[in-house]
């Protein structure tokens, strides 16, 4: 049960981070840059969490 919930949370975080990057890329500005950086940090965090099992 716990593993299934964790998978759904990771999928939700991935979708939100991807949406932040796509929305931030449409226009130029400091706010949009911040949104894209937060999205990138989220994706890097998910990648770190995935790779942590194999190191």
Would you state the pLDDT for residue 32?
94
Q: In this predicted structure, what is the pLDDT of residue 54?
A: 87
DSSP designation for 52: G
Positions of the chain with pLDDT under 50: none
Q: Which pLDDT value is given to residue 28?
A: 86
> What does the alpha-carbon distance between residue 44 and residue 1 come to, in Å, rounded to a whole number?
26
Residue 41 phi/psi, 5-degree rounding, is: -65, -40
């Amino acid at each position: 049960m716990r593993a299934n919930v964790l998978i759904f949370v990771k999928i939700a975080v991935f979708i939100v981070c991807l949406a932040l990057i796509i929305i931030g890329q449409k226009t130029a500005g400091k706010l949009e840059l911040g949104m894209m950086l937060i999205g990138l940090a989220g994706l890097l965090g998910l990648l770190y969490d995935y790779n942590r099992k194999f190191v």
